Amino acid sequence: MGSEEKCGVLHGKYELGRLLGHGTFAKVYHARNLQTNKSVAMKVVGKEKVIRVGMMEQVKREISVMKMVHHPNIVELHEVMASKTKIYFAMEFVRGGELFAKIAKGRLREEPARNYFQQLISAIDFCHSRGVYHRDLKPENLLLDEEGNLKVTDFGLSAFSDHLSQDGLLHTTCGTPAYVAPEVIGKKGYDGAKADIWSCGVILYVLLAGFLPFQDDNIMSMYRKIYRGDFKCPPWFSPEARKLITKMLDPNPSTRISIAKIMDSPWFKKSMPRCLNTKEEPEFGKEDETKTLNAFHIISLSEGFDLSPLFEEKKRVEKGELRFATTRPASSVISKIEEVAKTKNFSVKKSDSCVRLQGQQSGRKGKLGIAADIFAVTPSFLVVEVKKSSGDTLEYNQFCSKELRPALKDIEWTSTSGNSTLA
């Protein structure tokens, strides 16, 4: 332990407690945030050791990945601190231990196994939508909280899409042999998403069987079995589970099942947990009068005077908000938004001061819902505020940048200095 750890208080903020576990490069302690009195898991990585074996990039990658992925089934990174010799990750403290410990007591019944698997797929699908591939999925990296919710951890080996080579494939062999896809062992380029799906298939098999699909004392013969996809399902597997696992453990990545198809499989859909069901679309309000803005709204329209950070931690972009001013009448704004909606097959509900768009196709988090509200600053100067009302933020942001913004460009008000108001 360094001097900061010995005295028990880190950066004047965290009180370090007992050692929870350790790996080759890191120790994880229980710690308490003295300001909030909440428990955290403090991962302590020795800089010197990491630099010596050339792992610094991996540590930086873990930090950037953890900052990118916020999902109920992924362990949250609160903050990163550093001293001369150590890097400290303050992470969400997950009290229920590893999923591995549960399997060690014996195989799971189909219902709880499916529940964990659904949460795992939800987390991995979310990572992939952000261009992040975990690459070391195994039961030891799956934690459980007190309510039994699954949390994916240890993104140290993960890669994201900017690590792809010119052929669009990843080229680093990593992960744990028993859970690693054949194309990763083969040292050829591989698709990170497909490799994660294979590991998820091994995990599902282990949950239902209580043992690994590819086992051999000789590592080379184990690899041969993995290459051939040579495994047998125990007789207690249901036909649907057997079918799904066989499609996930397809040694050919190009014919291996995709996450979208996994989520659409009868076994996966049998009983969806509440947390994965999408929220209902909010009711359409009857607001026929054009709304007016108060002084606070007008001040906050100017980026220089934006007071919202004092009240809101997340910026507008993260929340999925688009705001612009126009000197055109509300009817022009509404018809422009309607035009975009038609080309993209959205259903439209409208009044004189608002438009509600509802996507027809289900995305990552259900159907995309968009609300546009029109405020009158003066009778001839309007402000339009567009927000996501349901669905996935990334899909919403893509829709705004590719479809909505270009369509609204010609009605958007530009100040005399030539600055656009689109924020």
Please list the active-site residues: 136
Quote the radius of gyration of the chain (alpha carbons, Å). 25
Please answer whether residues 46 and 85 qualify as being in contact, where contact means their C-beta atoms are separated by less than 8 angstroms.
yes
Give 209: exposed, middle or buried? Use CB within 10 Å, 0-12, 13-18, 19+: buried
Question: Residue 126: which H helix or E strand, with range?
Answer: helix 110-129
Flag whether 27 is marked binding. no
Give the residue carrying structure tokens 């010596």.
52
Give 266: exposed, middle or buried? Use CB within 10 Å, 0-12, 13-18, 19+: exposed
Using alpha carbons, select from 260, 290, 234, 258 the residue that is nearest to residue 113. 234
Cα 67-68-72 angle, rounded to 5 deg: 90
Count CB neighbours of 380 within 10 A. Answer: 10
Task: Say if strands 132-133 and 39-46 run parallel, antiparallel, or are unpaired.
Answer: unpaired
Using alpha carbons, select from 68, 209, 76, 219 the residue that is nearest to residue 139. 209
H helices within 229-375, ranges in order?
239-248, 259-263, 266-269, 295-301, 308-311, 316-319, 330-343
Please answer whether residues 42 and 14 qualify as being in contact, where contact means their C-beta atoms are separated by less than 8 angstroms.
yes
Distance CA 391, CA 291 (A): 26
> Annotated binding site for ATP, which residues?
47
Annotated binding site: 47
